[in-house]
């Protein structure tokens, strides 16, 4: 049964999960080259992190491809498997395709889920058939597919790990409610994956608008979390922080640090099992030395210069990484 905790209701009743039975960090990610990247007017309607820049489109394309390629190379060098999903272009451009984590997710049991995207031009990024082919070629098994895209007919949206931040060890989903995160779709997905605890909450920026994606304000690792809790109303904030602090080191960041994408980070593991934490260079620079030291106890810090992508696209390193938890294909002897 799903235990939905729309904060602060149902504050009790969490069932403990054994960490050994679950996996929190992925050692494989999907990344999509930004070959159609530009300022997306559709997403800018509710994404306050996007900015117009004075670069030509040629300069934008050159900078973003260089940022992407350097990130892929470094991740591979560190031992993280990267699946480059370079799909064929069509008549409809997908300027935000570099952020694939918003339209799919995977499970260790071998299921690929696809999600309803709020903006029309982003809905064209959803290419499950082509993605399955790329994943299988990379040695991953896809046993079944499931989709929540039928909710598009109801104008209800759930943008995958953009709006959902998972604590896999405790089978808990944290989600800031917004136009891109519908509560009913959120509950449906949690039921499908067997996660019995959903903690949804409101957020408020200085403009009065909600956070467009939860993963710009918080990240959850195996034993730590980073969160800009000041954007959560006080009554809900206490409950969220109490839940996180049960078994995580809580690293609180300011609104200014969130605007430098300090919340948009991701703990991964290498094929050797070592932990790394991917983040942008701007996030790395905005963390205090003490915060960097705290994070470094949970994995090697990997800062990437994606300044063009994060300024124009309003998303950063974590948004560029679609985690792959699918099982590896066993070699035939």
Q: Cβ(328)–Cβ(135) under 8 Å? A: no
- Best CA proximity match to 242, nearest among 157, 269, 234: 234
In a domain, 328, yes or no: no
In a domain, 330, yes or no: no
- In this prediction, residue 2 has a pLDDT band, given cuts at 50, 70 and 90, of very low
Per DSSP, the chain holds a count of helices (H) and strands (E) of 10, 16
Q: Cβ(316)–Cβ(283) under 8 Å? A: yes
Query: Residue 24 gets which letter from DSSP?
Result: -
pLDDT tens string 229-287: 999 999 999 999 999 999 999 999 999 999 999 999 999 999 999 999 999 999 999 99
CATH number at residue 77: 3.75.10.10
Report the half-sphere exposure of 14 (CA within 13 A, side-chain side).
21
| Cα dist from 330 to 76, 135, 176, 333, whole Å | 21, 14, 38, 9
Q: Which residue has the tokens 């999509």?
A: 32
Q: Which residue has the tokens 């918080």?
A: 218
Please report the pLDDT score of residue 39 as a whole number.
61
Task: Please state, for a pLDDT cut of 70, what percent of the chain lies above it.
Answer: 87
In a domain, 236, yes or no: yes
- Rounded CA-CA distance 236/218 in Å is 15
Please report the pLDDT score of residue 41 as a whole number.
61
For residue 37, what are its two tokens?
A: 């990247």
- Rounded CA-CA distance 89/85 in Å is 12
- In this prediction, residue 95 has a pLDDT band, given cuts at 50, 70 and 90, of confident
Q: Which residue has the tokens 């063009």?
A: 308
How many domains would you assign to the chain? 1
In a domain, 25, yes or no: yes
- Rounded CA-CA distance 157/164 in Å is 12
Full residue range of the structural domain in which residue 165 is found: 3-323
In a domain, 95, yes or no: yes
- In this prediction, residue 46 has a pLDDT band, given cuts at 50, 70 and 90, of low
In a domain, 131, yes or no: yes
For residue 34, what are its two tokens?
A: 């930004």
Average pLDDT over residues 55-60: 82
In a domain, 12, yes or no: yes
Q: What is the model's pTM?
A: 0.90
In a domain, 79, yes or no: yes
pLDDT tens string 13-29: 334 333 334 689 999 99
- In this prediction, residue 8 has a pLDDT band, given cuts at 50, 70 and 90, of very low
The CA R_g of the chain, rounded to the nearest whole Å, is 18
- In this prediction, residue 93 has a pLDDT band, given cuts at 50, 70 and 90, of confident
């Amino acid at each position: 049964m799903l235990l939905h905790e729309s904060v602060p209701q149902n504050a009790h009743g969490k069932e403990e999960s054994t960490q050994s039975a679950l996996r929190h960090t992925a050692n494989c990610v999907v990344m999509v080259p930004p070959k159609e990247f530009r300022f997306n007017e559709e997403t800018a309607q509710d994404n306050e992190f996007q900015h117009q820049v004075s670069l030509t489109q040629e300069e934008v394309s050159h900078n973003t491809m260089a940022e992407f390629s350097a990130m892929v190379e470094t991740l591979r060098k560190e031992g993280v498997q990267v699946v480059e999903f370079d799909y064929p272009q069509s008549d409809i451009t997908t300027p935000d395709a570099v952020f694939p984590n918003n339209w799919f997710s995977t499970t260790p049991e071998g299921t690929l889920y696809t999600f309803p995207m709020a903006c029309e031009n982003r809905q064209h990024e959803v290419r499950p058939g082509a993605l399955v082919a790329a994943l299988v070629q990379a040695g991953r098994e896809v046993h079944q597919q499931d989709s929540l895209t039928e909710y598009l007919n109801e104008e209800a949206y759930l943008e995958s790990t953009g709006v959902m931040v998972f604590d896999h060890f405790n089978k808990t989903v944290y989600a800031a409610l917004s136009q891109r995160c519908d509560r009913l779709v959120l509950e449906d997905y949690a039921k499908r994956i067997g996660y019995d605890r959903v903690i949804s909450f409101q957020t408020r920026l200085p403009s009065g608008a909600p956070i467009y994606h939860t993963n710009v304000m918080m990240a959850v690792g195996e034993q730590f979390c980073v969160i800009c809790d000041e954007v959560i109303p006080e009554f809900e904030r206490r409950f969220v922080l109490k839940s996180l602090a049960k078994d995580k080191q809580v690293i609180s960041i300011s609104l200014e640090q969130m605007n430098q994408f300090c919340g948009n980070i991701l703990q991964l593991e290498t094929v050797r099992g070592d932990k790394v934490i991917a983040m942008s260079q701007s996030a790395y620079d905005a963390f205090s030395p003490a915060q960097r030291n705290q994070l470094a106890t949970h994995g090697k810090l990997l800062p990437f210069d994606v300044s063009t992508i994060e300024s124009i696209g309003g998303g950063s390193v974590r948004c560029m990484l679609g985690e792959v938890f699918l099982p590896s294909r066993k070699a035939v002897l």
